[in-house]
């Protein structure tokens, strides 16, 4: 949920201390228009900017499409009306938030569609490789496009990574964190070799992360987990792009996680028009 403090920081960054550019009198209408096709997202954030500026009835959001909606070039995704000064002050922030989030949603939808060509059950997930201050916006964009948000922060799941294993050993690390975690908290263990996947599951992992393995090695790891009849979630991750999704979906993993959904998605092109 966006807070007033977040919206204030966005506006303060853009408006500054003495905004002369937007000292425009009177009333107007505004509309956010897509200049290319994609998947809309971040419109809750864009609308919140105008609603914040329009407290006291100065600006009203009159219409917007739902996040997750497929849109085409020329589609109007948000309409506002009210004081020209406030609408113009919110314009760039709203465009930036919606453009970035819609780019994330569009990239996510492409990855989900690619996975569905192979297996309807494979989940496409994002990671914690998000922009500081914008994690909520980016995670909601992933969810709007049919992706999985993965853990939202460090408290949502224990991730036993290579550094933990290097310090304590795989089995000791899993036992160490199992003692400290709630019964409701899952433990995920990162492995870099197929042979370590059954070890991690046997040690008590709920999720085994097959990290930076090419598809062939990933499939080998999944086969070893299944042959050992180990009931765990298998997740592939590490430098995976939309072009790789089909190959990883075919390996038998349950989840394909992709940092590129949030850290490399290009913004969707929007323009804001008044009058």
Q: Say if residue 71 is in the same domain as residue 93.
A: yes
Q: Is the dihedral of CA 8, 48, 130, 15 positive or negative?
A: negative
**Count of CA atoms in the C-beta half-sphere (13 A) of 149:** 14
161 is catalytic: yes
Nearest-CA neighbor of 142 among 154, 131, 126? 126
129 is catalytic: yes
Q: How far is Cα 190 from Cα 157, in angstroms, rounded to an integer?
A: 13
- pLDDT score of 22: 66
Distance of CA 169 to the CA centre of its chain: 32
Nearest-CA neighbor of 9 among 52, 60, 56? 52
Catalytic residue among 55, 161, 226, 273: 161
- Is the pLDDT at 202 greater than 90, yes or no? yes
Q: Say if residue 136 is in the same domain as residue 89.
A: no
Q: How far is Cα 249 from Cα 119, in angstroms, rounded to an integer?
A: 7
Can you give the residue range of the structural domain that contains 223? 118-263
CB-based contacts of 204: which residues, under 8 Å, 6+ apart? 174, 175, 178, 187
Q: Say if residue 126 is in the same domain as residue 215.
A: yes
Q: What is the pLDDT of residues 210-264, one digit of tens each?
A: 999 999 999 999 999 999 998 899 999 999 999 999 999 999 999 999 999 999 9
Nearest-CA neighbor of 162 among 194, 137, 200, 189? 189
Q: How far is Cα 197 from Cα 224, in angstroms, rounded to an integer?
A: 8
Q: Say if residue 270 is in the same domain as residue 258.
A: no
Q: Say if residue 92 is in the same domain as residue 122.
A: no
- Is the pLDDT at 138 greater than 70, yes or no? yes
Specify the CATH number for the domain of residue 143. Answer: 3.20.20.70
Specify the CATH number for the domain of residue 86. Answer: 3.90.1170.20
- Is the pLDDT at 17 greater than 90, yes or no? no
Q: Say if residue 86 is in the same domain as residue 143.
A: no
Q: Say if residue 103 is in the same domain as residue 13.
A: yes
Q: How far is Cα 35 from Cα 73, in angstroms, rounded to an integer?
A: 5
State the pTM of this model: 0.93
Q: How far is Cα 60 from Cα 90, in angstroms, rounded to an integer?
A: 12
**Percentage of the residues of the chain whose pLDDT score is greater than 90:** 85
Bridge partners for 209 per DSSP: 190, 235
Q: What is the pLDDT of residues 163-174, one digit of tens each?
A: 999 999 999 999
148 is catalytic: no
Catalytic residue among 31, 58, 128, 129: 129
Q: Say if residue 246 is in the same domain as residue 270.
A: no
58 is catalytic: no
Q: Say if residue 104 is in the same domain as residue 162.
A: no
- pLDDT score of 219: 98
Q: Say if residue 126 is in the same domain as residue 253.
A: yes
67 is catalytic: no
Model confidence at 85, pLDDT cuts 50, 70, 90, reads confident
Q: Say if residue 242 is in the same domain as residue 122.
A: yes
Structure tokens given for 217: 């090695």
Q: Say if residue 106 is in the same domain as residue 127.
A: no
Catalytic residue among 31, 58, 79, 92: 92
First to last CA, the chain: 31
Q: Helices (H), strands (E): how many in the chain?
A: 10, 12
Range with top average pLDDT, 16-30, 51-65, 169-183? 169-183
- pLDDT score of 260: 96
- Our count of domains for the chain comes to 2
Catalytic residue among 190, 196, 219, 247: 190
């Amino acid at each position: 949920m966006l807070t007033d403090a977040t919206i204030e920081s966005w506006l303060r960054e853009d408006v500054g201390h003495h905004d002369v550019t937007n000292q425009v009198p009177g009333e107007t209408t505004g509309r956010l228009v897509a200049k290319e096709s994609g998947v809309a997202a971040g419109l809750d954030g864009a609308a919140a900017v105008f609603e914040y500026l329009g407290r006291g009835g100065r600006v009203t959001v009159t219409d917007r499409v739902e996040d997750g909606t497929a849109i085409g070039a020329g589609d109007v995704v948000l309409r506002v009306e009210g004081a020209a000064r406030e609408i113009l002050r919110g314009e760039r922030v709203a465009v930036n938030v919606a453009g970035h989030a819609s780019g994330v949603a569009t990239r996510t939808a492409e990855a989900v569609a690619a996975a569905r060509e192979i297996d309807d059950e494979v989940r496409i997930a994002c990671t914690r490789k998000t922009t500081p201050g914008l994690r909520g916006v980016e995670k909601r964009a992933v969810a709007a496009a049919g992706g999985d948000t993965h853990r939202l922060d460090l408290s949502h799941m224990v991730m036993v990574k290579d550094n933990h294993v290097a310090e304590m050993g795989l089995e000791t690390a899993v036992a160490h964190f199992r003692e400290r975690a709630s019964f409701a908290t899952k433990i995920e263990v990162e492995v870099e070799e197929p042979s370590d996947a059954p070890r991690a599951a046997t040690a008590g992992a709920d999720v085994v992360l097959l990290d930076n393995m090419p598809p062939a090695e990933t499939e080998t790891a999944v086969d070893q987990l299944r042959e050992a009849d180990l009931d765990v979630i298998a997740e592939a991750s590490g430098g995976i792009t939309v072009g790789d999704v089909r190959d990883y979906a075919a390996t038998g993993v349950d989840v394909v996680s992709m940092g590129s959904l949030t850290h490399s998605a290009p913004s969707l092109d929007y323009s804001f028009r008044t009058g």
